[in-house]
Amino acid sequence: MKVLFIGDIVGNAGRKALRETLPHLKQKYNPSIIIANGENAAAGRGITKAIAWDFFNWGVHGLTMGNHTWDNKDIFEFIDDEPRIVRPANFPEGAPGRGHTLIKANGKELFIINLQGRTFLPPIDCPFTKVDWILEDHAEHKCVLVDLHAETTSEKIAMGWYLDGRVSAVVGTHTHVQTNDNLILPQGTAYVTDVGMTGPRDGVLGMERNAVLQKFITQMPVRFTVSEGSWHFHAVLIEMDESTGASKSIQLIRMNEEDLLLI
Ligand SMILES: [Fe+2]
Ligand SMILES: [Fe+2]
């Protein structure tokens, strides 16, 4: 089966990119299951119920989150009752929501796990130990995708090796920059360090660039807002063997707003 995984959707431009791009990508690649990272969907900070439902209505089957999970307080109203959204599983005990879930669509099943790295991010529970426990408890699932939301390339590469042969895919999110190290690891796990970002192209990681520049130059406190304007769309397409759970291919997808005119 083919799984389309879309990198962090950022703000208005990211939502527009998703709405405009998905019909074309569905037609071109025919993915059975579509997963997206939604941690920046509401003005760069968290997600609302209305936005999540828009994504589901447009064809997204499951959403992963990250360090911005709690930034929009709307999330507390619905995350416990929404089985299609996962937040990092290694958030400490007692956090609302769930860290893993089974997504079913088009007659296929994909078990998804969200983890968050600990290097240059808050010192939450160990993602390596946590994923061991989850996989032990859910050994019945063949096709498993892990979104490791992390800052450093090393922590993500380490997780790729750690899970090679135990899950179908380890995809990185959070840096908003797509890496071109997509590969199938020796035991059949598809891997990429970062899927990238679906959002405004002319800012700095999705934020309005003048404010970011001012911060770098003056080192004074500056309020960041999400950037607007034209978008780019970053995703990966992973082909998994349903009988073994191993992946056959992982392909980068990278589009600019102008590319839609060429389709
Ligand atoms: Fe993000
Ligand atoms: Fe993040």
* Among the bound ligands, the one closest to the CA of 36: 1
193 C-alpha to ligand 1 centroid (Å):
14
Helix (H) or strand (E) holding 245: none
What is the Cα Rg of the chain in Å? 17
| Cβ proximity of 235 and 194 under 8 Å | no
Q: pLDDT of 46-86, one tens digit each?
A: 999 999 999 999 999 999 999 999 999 999 999 999 999 99
The arithmetic mean of pLDDT across residues 165-169, rounded, is: 98
Q: Supply the pLDDT for residue 9.
A: 98
Maximum distance among all alpha carbons in the chain?
A: 56
Structure letter (DSSP) for residue 262: G
Find where tokens 């208005």 sit.
12
- Residue 245: pLDDT band (50, 70, 90) is very high
- Residue 261: pLDDT band (50, 70, 90) is confident
- Residue 40: pLDDT band (50, 70, 90) is very high
* Among the bound ligands, the one closest to the CA of 38: 1
138 is in an annotated binding site: no
80 is in an annotated binding site: no
Q: Supply the pLDDT for residue 262.
A: 74
140 is in an annotated binding site: no
* Among the bound ligands, the one closest to the CA of 40: 1
CA distance 151 to 159: 13
Mean pLDDT of the chain: 97
Structure letter (DSSP) for residue 140: T
Q: pLDDT of 19-37, one tens digit each?
A: 999 999 999 999 999 999 9
Residue 263 pLDDT greater than 80, yes or no: no
Find where tokens 């990092």 sit.
88
Alpha helices in 117-208 (DSSP H): 127-137, 153-163
Domains and CATH numbers, the chain: 2-261 (3.60.21.10)
Q: Supply the pLDDT for residue 168.
A: 99
Strand partners, 240: 247
40 is in an annotated binding site: yes
Q: Count Cα neighbours of 58 within 13 Å in the Cβ-side half-sphere.
A: 20
107 C-alpha to ligand 1 centroid (Å):
30
Pairing relation of β-strands 197-200 and 8-9?
Answer: parallel
Show the 3-state SS of 14-59: HHHHHHHHHHHHHHHHCCCEEEEECCCCCCCCCCCHHHHHHHHHHC
Residue 164 pLDDT greater than 80, yes or no: yes
List, by residue number, the catalytic residues.
Answer: 68
Q: Supply the pLDDT for residue 28.
A: 96
